[in-house]
Structure 1
């Protein structure tokens, strides 16, 4: 019995005639329907001809989440008065409920992609409805692009609907237009917001710190919990509270202890029974704490109030290190509208937004498209199998970032999924059909011959369906916990294990889902690796490795660049070059090698945090990461000298090294240059004359300029080829550099080609002859050349000596050689400064001449008596 009264209350029914007309004219359309109008449930029934007067069609509805798939199928079956599996069915990974009469099948976008790649024509399907396009999930974007290709090349009659709850319908309309030049497809709009929603802003108290990484200020969670209590006191009905992640959900649930309502936790990993209980409704009041899975595609019965923390989680990928992490970000305006709409789906509702009113304008309009921020390895393999390795010909809303595609191609090449040109190999085609990340597909295919199909499938299922945190960070221990069963995770893991085992055997999802029994429960199951049991796979191979070694092998095969060697009890170095740290209580502390399955590296952290890993032996590590093994001569500057070794490495991890006696001369030369760059030209032999020459050249470069060379440390190192050859090519160690005459080498930089080199002594003489006949050294080490000479030796000199046209700075010394005065204008000094010097020093040095007029006196190097003997005879 069709529930006509419920269907008549859905506002989207008024848009159905327009949608059918648009599909009849163009074969594609965009449906814009606000939350709560019934686009997910009524429209597919109308497209299939199950309600109304339309022709019968087979409709495929693609939803981004498994929870939404089950909820939508259940709701549509209820509207028809049927059970799921009759005229409305669903398929998710590892579970399918359809029958011979099924006309509407709800699937995840991942399942849709698998079907498209197995058979692009989608035989028997008349219409595909892609729901919640605005959420910008990568699988949905990819499915849309593939479907556009199918309509263009294979099945122009295939009808396509993109359904969005936000105001970006024009973008989708232009995208669905295709290359035929007919312009955007029609946009069919459903009026009405369901029931009204009253918005209140409930900002937290001052001092709440912004979220970063996965950290959320506990003060914000306390405020959210207080707002939930307020909502329960002020309003009727259930409360739906949005939080960024499962950790925040658990902590907030603890803060709501004692409220007069049942507190439920809804997220992607929640047990199916909990999900069903939330979506069925209850007899008493409820508080549902949910992640963004509850934003769209499903109705939570009884909800009249939404409390929105204002936060969401987005993935972040460090493509250079192959590590992912989650970032807590402000929820977009579009997602906030979706969340608010949950309160008004069944009756007028209220939303409390835990942020300032002014923050509304600062929020991003839409969520970040997943293609811009996610790991693209699976996408790149799908594109390669589709025949477009670079994805350049796909009708995508946003092009994939080039750097992310390069990183993805690197992974796919390493695991043999694509060839050098990026085309999918037969192995890559098989990996794509398995329905897991290519890394996990590689581990499944390569480990099965040694471990057996069942044990390998169990471990890969653990990596694909990441176990609860309470299982710990030891993959082998988590494996044993999953085998024991008794919780919701174990049931999901068992189903995925059966599916993977069937995929290995060449079966399909349906066969896997029907496989009886539960794996891994001792006798009759996968066996216990510690006892040497095992089924399937290579004879004897499955029995040869215990649980710990098997877990390490599979994790290493899936994530070879995360194989890590210990450098302390809890500290490891991954072959990617990134450090990794175990938790203080980890049971894996002290193992020599680790295969890291799950890790994240916060932006501010130097090392990654290990979330899930397994001990692995060196042989398995070498085998799994063999494509990263190198053996080469390494010559570098270390601890103040040249170190030459032949080194075997696994990525950044050094495996073995032995000294090199006859290292490559080019590498030695580069190491010496590196030493010079680190420690400077002082590694060379600098005599007094060499330093003086350098000072003179520096002076000329500063005063005259070209062609006199720059002899600063930076310039000398940059031109090492010009002035340190052939000495540099002959040297092999630090001590050899210490014997290189810097002065002789420096002369190679003089401007010989222009002839200016011959003027060095003219422009910047090493010594200047003063009136006494002495040749006094000029110090060019400062900003101005300095001539340090006794006062008596300059008598009679009226002009300051000059070099390269610049006056020297004269340091006038006492007879004892101590500074008496400094001047750059000798004539002025004789007139004005000399008297004070004479008055101070002539009593101290009476044996030396102190004439009244030094500008006309005879210069001397000697005392008065000796000067008299030299000039007057004996």
Structure 2
């Protein structure tokens, strides 16, 4: 029996006529309705014709989260007075409850994407509702783009609705072909704001880390809210780990029930949260409760002010969720949960002065996330660069290029970016392409998917920190706990719901069995709510294996045997440690790492360190699944990894295996060696055969670049020639050559050959006469070289008859250092290449007495002071009254008299 009273109370009912008119006239619409108005539950029922009005249609509703999809389906079924699966059903990862006559099906956006890839026409579907568009999850943006493409090219009759509580309505309207915007106005109650910042400073979040002091403060604010207010308390925290730690601090609340809600909470916990409680409750939730769910009885919200967003560290090839300050839009959404049923209050755990500095909106996932899975979806859709997709924000070019590198590496796309048959198989597995590669290839190596799928499922979830960083130990812990990923039961559970007895179609139609606790292999990559992305697509050097497992040039047994499979027989039993290591290494081949000193060097070139108390420390090889970079450190920190051996390392990263001669400049000389390596990891080094001359030459040039041309032999004449040429190039330009280091490197073949081609080591460079080599750069062809001594003479003759060397150290102006008495009688300063020489007039002892570029002015104005100072000190030298008219001399007065 339809519950008309409950349906009539939903404010969105008043907007249904306008919504129907928009869909009838335009085919698309944007529905903006505040939380609690019924947009998620009433609208699909009305569009499907299940409320005794309108034509019968089949409606698919896409929700960003599994918990929201289940809750929406259950609520709609309740409104109809039916069981879930009759007129309304749902399909989420690992669970499908849809009857033969269902007219409304609620799915996650990931399930919708899989369905679109298999059946682009969406045969039998009349309307698709994309709910919670404002959250800007990558799957939702992708699904919207695909659906618009389907409507434009295949099914113009397909109706599309973009629905959200708060969104960029005009942006979505433009995206859907200038769709009409329909607004529904809900009933909202006032929400008071209480600013409750910590009394002591707390460290800002970094990576996945949240200061324990802030979590302790949040727990204390929850206790304060329970004491000051009535009603249930909804507390927002960034992730599952933080929820668990705050729950532990609230374990003594007596009659108050503490519940935890997130994407992997057991169905029983989800049902308890979404139903009215018999006693007072504290609900600790991730962002899943911002807008997707209505938690009845909530009158108080406690907001930690934190959220989780994906980030990619391009420099180190690491990708994971990171903790950030929640946006102003998210804070408004969270606060609104307190005013859904009655006036409420929000306690914000930050200062009011900080509020204006928060970002206005959360970053669209397409702008900040790893785009490997998105790029594979686009390639399978037939648009590898996504340029033809209708997206609110285009994908960043660098992130797409990095994603294509990874997809090419795992054989999912060809050189043109088109999806290969292998790529299509990987996309249909419903996991990140990295995990798809691991599932396919590990199953091939081991002769079947048994056990592999379990590890893939583990990698696709956030492993609780209490399990440590050893993935093999975490797998055993999950099995013992009997809950998926989280290992916490009951109200503290973090496992997936409804997965018992399920299986996923895996390799070539084989049934991939999955333990009831782990969920099926069709796990979409997590996006928020404290879930860590188990697979990332970093831009570091991935393994270009084109899907061929174990292709390598190294020594040893065949790859299958090295992974534990006997030749020509059934797969050998593989222990947990080896199985987890194999799968992890295949998923993250560029993060296979060898112990090198006190840290591990990945084949990508990034260094990483396990925790001090990690069981992984000392393992010769590891494969890193999750890592981050602590603030102020250069190395990555291992968060999850598996121990492997060299055989598995060679197998997984085999396409980066190479053995070649290396000739390079190191430790001040040419070093030649034959090196076997996996990417940046050296496996073996031995002396080479005679190194190739071209490589020796490049090594010598590298040495000159590193240490400079001082490696050559520079006589005084060579130094002087370089300085003279620098002077002429500065003041006259061409054809006089530029002799700065960078210019000489650019023309090295013109001036340093053939001496360089004969050199083999540093000592040979030291025997090359730099001056003789530089002379090759003189403009001989034009004849200008003959004017070198005219334009930039080494020496000039001064009035005394002495030939004094010019100093060209400063190319701006040459310096002439000469005794003052030798310049008597000269009115004009010497000029070289049109540049007045700077004259350093020296005392009889050779010390500077004056500096001038205008001798006439010096004789007139400066000489008297110099004469007065030096005449008594050097009485044997001439100090005439009129130096401009005196005879220049190199001699003392006595010498002059004898002469």
Sort the TM-score into its range (normalised by shorter chain): 0.7 to 0.9
> Which segments of 5 or more consecutive residues in structure 2 lack a partner in the other structure?
488-493, 522-560
1:301 aligned onto 2:334: no
Mark the CA change 1:791 to 1:421 in structure 2 (over 3 Å): closer, same or farther. Answer: closer
Residue of structure 2 in register with 1:269 after alignment? 264
Aligned to 2:576: 547
- Residue in 2 aligned with 1:739? 767
Contact kept in structure 2, 1:36 and 1:344, CA below 8 Å = no
CA distance in 2, matches of 1:167, 1:865: 101
Deviation at 1:193, TM superposition (A): 3.2
Cα deviation code 1:192-223 (max 9, x no counterpart)? 23544444444555855654434445554455
Work out which of the two has the higher radius of gyration on C-alpha atoms and give 1 or 2.
1
CA distance in 2, matches of 1:143, 1:52: 30
Q: Is the CA contact 1:37–1:194 (under 8 Å) kept in the aligned structure 2?
A: no
Structure 1 residue 541: deviation in Å? Answer: 5.7
The alpha-carbon distance between structure 1 residues 214 and 786, as it changes in their structure 2 partners (threshold 3 A), is same
Distance in 2, Cα, partners of 1:808 & 1:518 = 85
In the alignment, is residue 248 of structure 1 matched against residue 242 of structure 2?
yes
- Quote the offset at 1:595 in angstroms: 0.9
The answer to whether the aligner puts 1:413 opposite 2:408 as a matched pair is: yes
Question: By how many angstroms is 1:283 displaced?
Answer: 1.6
> Residue 193 of structure 1 aligns with which residue?
187
Match of 1:524 in 2: none
Cα 1:516/1:536, change in 2 over 3 Å? farther
Which sits farther off after the overlay, 698-707 or 718-727? 698-707
What corresponds to 1:393 in structure 2?
388
Question: Shift of residue 29 of structure 1?
Answer: 2.3
Which secondary structure does the structure 2 equivalent of 1:841 belong to? Answer: coil
Q: How far does residue 513 in structure 1 lie from its aligned partner after superposition?
A: 9.9
Secondary structure at the aligned position of 1:287 is classed as strand
- Higher mean displacement: 468-477 or 714-723: 714-723
**Contact 1:65-1:108 within 8 A present in 2 as well:** yes
Displacement of 1:495 in angstroms is: 7.6
- 1:313 Cα shift? 1.4
Inter-partner Cα distance in structure 2 for 1:859 and 1:25 = 106
**SS of alignment partner, residue 265 of structure 2:** coil
After superposition, the Cα gap between the structure-2 partners of 1:629 and 1:836, relative to the gap in structure 1 and judged at 3 Å, is same
Structure-2 change in CA distance of 1:681 and 1:498 (3 Å):
farther
1:445/1:214 CA distance change after superposition, 3 Å: closer
TM superposition shift of 1:31: 1.9
- Corresponding position of 2:232: 238
| 2:842 aligned with 1:812 | yes
Query: What is residue 5 of structure 1 aligned with on the other side?
Result: 5
What do residues 483-515 of structure 1 show as CA deviations (whole Å, max 9, x unaligned)? 334335469579879756642362689x98999
Bigger share in helix: 1
- In 2, distance between residues paired with 1:556 and 1:206? 44
Query: Which residue in the other structure is 2:701 paired with?
Result: 673
Aligned to 1:98: 98
CA displacement 1:412-470 (0-9 Å, x = unmatched): 11111122222222211211111111111111111113333211112112112343222
- Alignment: residue pair count: 843
Cα shift readout 1:508-560 (whole Å, capped 9, x = no counterpart): 89x989999999xxxxxxxxxxxx9x999998564253322221111111111
Cα gap change, 1:827 to 1:425, in 2 (>3 Å): same
Residue pairs, 1:501-516, within 5 angstroms: 502-504=505-507, 506=509
1:174: which partner in 2?
A: 174
Shift in Å, 1:625: 1.6
Which residue of the partner structure matches residue 84 of structure 1?
84
Q: Any idea what the Cα deviations from partners look like across 1:734-787, whole Å, max 9, x if unmatched?
A: 222211111122223334445443333233332334455443333333575444
Residue equivalent to 1:335: 330
Q: Which of 713, 726, 748 pairs up with 2:776?
A: 748
Does the 8 Å CA contact 1:457/1:501 hold for their aligned counterparts?
no
**Residues 541 and 485 from structure 1, CA distance in 2 versus in 1: closer, same or farther, beyond 3 angstroms?**
farther
Structure 1 residue 240 displacement after superposition: 0.7
> Residue 180 of structure 1 corresponds to which residue in structure 2?
none
CA 1:24–1:147 in 2, change beyond 3 Å: closer, same or farther? same
| Other structure's SS at 1:62 match | strand
DSSP-derived class of the 1:388 partner:
coil
SS at match of 1:37: coil
Q: 1:173 and 1:801, CA in 2 relative to 1: closer, same or farther beyond 3 A?
A: closer
**1:598 alignment partner, SS class:** strand
Q: Deviations over 1:272-312 (max 9, x none)?
A: 43333222342221111211011122111211111223322
Matched residue, 2:873: 840
Deviations 1:691-720 (A, max 9, x none): 222333344445555554443444444443
**CA separation of 1:820/1:205 partners in 2, compared to 1, >3 Å: closer, same or farther?**
closer
| Structure 2 residue corresponding to 1:456, chosen from 432, 452, 463 | 452
In structure 2, C-alpha distance between the alignment counterparts of 1:403 and 1:795, rounded to whole Å: 71
Identify the residue that residue 522 of structure 1 maps to in structure 2. none
**Distance change >3 Å, CA 463–CA 499, structure 1 → 2:** farther
Q: Would the aligned equivalents of 2:41 and 2:72 in 1 still touch at CA under 8 Å?
A: yes
Q: Which among 275, 278, 284 is matched to residue 283 of structure 1?
A: 278
TM-score, with structure 2 as normaliser? 0.85
- Per the alignment, residue 39 of structure 1 pairs with 39
Instruction: Assess if the C-alpha contact under 8 Å between 2:109 and 2:139 holds in 1.
Output: yes
Tell me how far apart the structure 2 counterparts of residues 518 and 793 of structure 1 sit (CA, whole Å): 98
Please give the alpha-carbon distance, in whole angstroms, between the structure 1 residues aligned to 2:662 and 2:686.
10
Match of 1:567 among 593, 596, 611: 596
CA contact (8 A) 1:320 1:407 kept: no
Aligned equivalent of 2:711:
683
Deviation at 1:88, TM superposition (A): 2.4
Corresponding residue SS for 1:615: strand
- For 1:375 and 1:5, the matched residues in 2 are separated by 46
Structure 1 position 671, deviation (Å) = 2.6
1:440 to 435, 444, 451: 435
Match of 1:528 in 2: none
Structure 1 equivalent of residue 556 of structure 2: none
Post-superposition offset of 1:316: 0.6
Relative contact order higher in (CA < 8 Å, ≥ 6 apart): 2
Q: Is the 8 A contact 1:213 1:328 kept in 2?
A: yes
Q: 2:71 aligns to what? A: 71
SS of residue in 2 equivalent to 1:840: coil
Distance (Å, rounded) in 2 between the aligned partners of 1:108 and 1:719: 62
Distance 1:600 1:823 in 2: 62
Quote the offset at 1:611 in angstroms.
Answer: 1.5
The answer on whether the counterparts of 2:329 and 2:362 sit within 8 Å (CA) in structure 1 is yes
Q: What SS does the corresponding residue of 2:77 show, helix, strand or coil?
A: helix
Partner residue in 2 for 1:350: 345
Q: Check the 8 A contact 1:271/1:488 in 2, yes or no.
A: no
Counterpart of 2:639 in structure 1 is 611
Q: Which moved more, 1:722-731 or 1:136-145?
A: 722-731
- Relative to structure 1, the CA distance from residue 852 to residue 305 in structure 2 (aligned partners, 3 Å threshold; closer, same or farther) is closer
Report the CA distance between 1:134 and its aligned residue. 1.5
Q: Please state how far the C-alpha of 1:601 moved relative to its aligned partner.
A: 3.3
Cα-Cα RMSD: 3.6
The corresponding residue for 1:115 is: 115
Higher mean alpha-carbon deviation, 860-869 vs 371-380, is at 860-869
Moved more, 89-98 or 223-232: 223-232
Are the structure 2 counterparts of residues 602 and 27 from structure 1 closer, same or farther at C-alpha, using a change threshold of 3 Å? farther
CA–CA distance in structure 2, aligned partners of residues 337 and 769 of structure 1 = 86
Q: Per-residue CA shift, 1:375-412, capped at 9, x if unaligned?
A: 12212222222222222222222222222222222111
Counterpart check, 1:482 vs 2:458 = no
